[in-house]
Amino acid sequence: MSHDEKTLNKSANRLFDDVLQVNLVRRKVLTGGLALAAGSFFFGVSGAASTTTGGIKAANVATGKRRKNGLINFNPVKLADGNGPWPMISSDYKFDVLIPWGEPLQPGGPSFSHPPSADEQANQIGIGHDGMWFFPIKGSSEHGLLAINHEFGHNQHVLGKPNPESLEDVRTSQHAHGVSVVEIKKIKGQWQTVASSASRRIHVNTPVAFSGPVAGHPLLNTRAGNEPMGTVNNCSSGYTPWGTYLTCEENFNGYFGAKGDWSPNESQLRYGFSGDGFGYGWHDYDPRFDLANEGFHNEEHRFGWVVEIDPMDATQKPVKRTALGRFKHEGIALTVGRDGRVVGYMGDDQRFDYIYKFVSDDNHESMRARGISPLDDGVLYAARFNDDGSGEWLPLTIDNPALAARFASQAALMIDTRIAADIVGATPMDRPEWTTVAPNGEVYCTLTNNSRRTTADAANPMAPNNDGHIIKWCDSEQHTGTTFEWDIFIIANETHGTEQSFSAPDGVWADPDGRLFIQTDGSQKNGLNNQMLVADTLTGEIRRLFTGVVGAEITGITVTPDRSTMFINIQHPGNGDRARTNFPAAENGVTVPRDATIVLTRKDGGIIGS
Ligand code: FEO
Ligand code: CA
Ligand code: CA
Ligand code: CA
């Protein structure tokens, strides 16, 4: 979404360094052709393979076989074909539409009508389908719980008017946001929702708990004494080795506004709070989101976190894990590192913001056996990318004198994670979006674009960066160390003029065989709709598997354990305008377009991506 595109980092970290020359030299040495640095760049990581995937017990990991002809054997969607009113998929594949916005959460629940009432929307699938994860029931590839983020839906799309006119309107908008956990099953070849005690909606008015260093701190308290509720702008996601879902709060600032006199403090400025927010108008009817209302000061500190949800237990209170920092969390890729410690990689999606990682203090199983969440005790780091291909993870801990001089406690530091990362000298990046950990230990991160970059550096080599790039790195000490080696995987601009053309990489997922799925969110060349491509990380081959519809982005990736089925999302088709598309309704002019999950299968039942 376009709200990620402002520049809020006013710190001087590296922005004014003149390193373009360094960068040009480096690019010549390390890349060529389509700018794909093949897997050979990293050394000594192959031994990590079994640990990385083997440690994730709840993961959708299957043993794929590299086909005779290579990893990718499907007929690609041609560049010239992917611009129509309907999705296009490789001729070797087929797709179905599953659970559009407004479908009842349970069979027999309130069916879609536009606009939905607040009550109806609380019992329906939300809008803005984004990150998601499939949690199989008893290991099944035909039955499981799908946890889906609902990132955003503007008022015109959800309510059919630009501004809410009542608290009821605001509640409808709030209930369209958040997360759906929905039980789905393949019955007679068709995936559908089934009645379930686990299915639930989590939205802006769902009670939540806080955990980690900020829990219980006065900076989370309001004078009104209202209990913490809700999650917003749920962008991408992650999952844990112990079977839970992590939903990431991205542009939380945009839901707040000011009804009266208000001017932003340093913290609010750094996160982009403004009097109008993104135009949701919640603050006009719900004082919780009114920055000028003294009773609700600090309410904004309750957003901008990673939230843990148990998909199997509808009674569990979602938990905000504050040790993972407060910023515009795009997503989180969790892996198991040395000594069984859990490691999470995260992007903060704003121009010139940072990449982070969290490392738990101890083995995740032993922590849980002691009743401690591995996501509560650990160290958060911000990344510095050096021009020579090395990198450092900079700890954001109060024992650093430079941070102790600015913050009174670790809790205060975590609330202003961005400011802490400014102080330690993290590298400003071109809008870090999704991260993913490949089975060989390489970590990939999409940097979607940055039209405001005027000075390139080696890690962000385009100025301006209109099309984005993908960076990769390999950490020392099996993800738990404080140094890494990095390289550029691909620069999107360099694909232009080829059949593999893409811009604005966003969603990304490394499968267990060495494929990298790349999803886009931004304008593509040749009038192409947003798309999903598959890259072979070893050879650099790329093919286009799927294209969406006008005005929509493609986001969200999860597979069944056997990888014969993949779920992805078409978000904001037609940008909500029925004159542009009625997707998934076949005829235009019938209904508002609806964000929806798409089910992909290979016609021969093979592994998705092959
Ligand atoms: Fe939610 Fe940065 O995309
Ligand atoms: Ca989006
Ligand atoms: Ca995104
Ligand atoms: Ca994006």
Atom of ligand 1 nearest to the CA of 233: 1
- pLDDT value for 157: 98
Q: Please state the rounded mean pLDDT for residues 496-521.
A: 98
Q: Indicate if the pLDDT at residue 65 is higher than 80.
A: no
Average predicted confidence (pLDDT) for the chain: 91
Q: Please state the rounded mean pLDDT for residues 492-502.
A: 97
Summarize pLDDT for 94-148 with one digit per residue, the tens.
999 999 999 999 999 999 999 999 999 999 999 999 999 999 999 999 999 999 9
- pLDDT value for 6: 75
Whether 231 and 178 have beta carbons less than 8 Å apart is answered as yes
- pLDDT value for 507: 99
Which residues approach ligand 1 with their CB closer than 6 A? 1, 4, 151, 235, 250, 330, 349, 433
Do you find a cis peptide bond into 512, omega within 30 degrees of 0?
Answer: no
pTM: 0.92
Cα of 433 to ligand 3 centre, how many Å? 6
Q: Please state the rounded mean pLDDT for residues 234-249.
A: 98
Of 343-352, 448-457, 590-599, where does mean pLDDT reach its minimum? 590-599
Three-state SS at 505: strand
Q: What does the angle CA 457 – CA 463 – CA 469 come to, to the nearest 5 degrees?
A: 75
Cα of 232 to ligand 2 centre, how many Å? 13
Atom of ligand 1 nearest to the CA of 4: 2
Judged by its nearest atom, the ligand closest to the C-alpha of residue 4 is 1
Q: Calculate the alpha carbon distances from 15 to 224, 422, 480, 486 in Å.
A: 41, 12, 28, 19
pLDDT category of residue 305 using cuts at 50, 70 and 90: very high
- pLDDT value for 566: 98
Tell me the two tokens of residue 282: 């919640």
Summarize pLDDT for 114-126 with one digit per residue, the tens.
999 999 999 999 9
d(CA 471, CA 584): 34
Residues that place a CB less than 5 A from ion ligand 4: 448, 506, 521
Cα of 433 to ligand 4 centre, how many Å? 7
Q: Indicate if the pLDDT at residue 180 is higher than 60.
A: yes
Q: What does the angle CA 603 – CA 96 – CA 540 come to, to the nearest 5 degrees?
A: 60
Among left, alpha and beta (phi > 0; psi -120 to 50; other), residue 601 is beta
Q: Please state the rounded mean pLDDT for residues 472-501.
A: 98
- pLDDT value for 43: 31
d(CA 97, CA 111): 16
Atom of ligand 1 nearest to the CA of 151: 1
- pLDDT value for 58: 28
Summarize pLDDT for 358-387 with one digit per residue, the tens.
999 999 999 999 999 999 999 999 999 999
Atom of ligand 1 nearest to the CA of 152: 1
Q: Residue 502: in which H helix or E strand, if any? A: none
Judged by its nearest atom, the ligand closest to the C-alpha of residue 520 is 4
d(CA 515, CA 497): 23
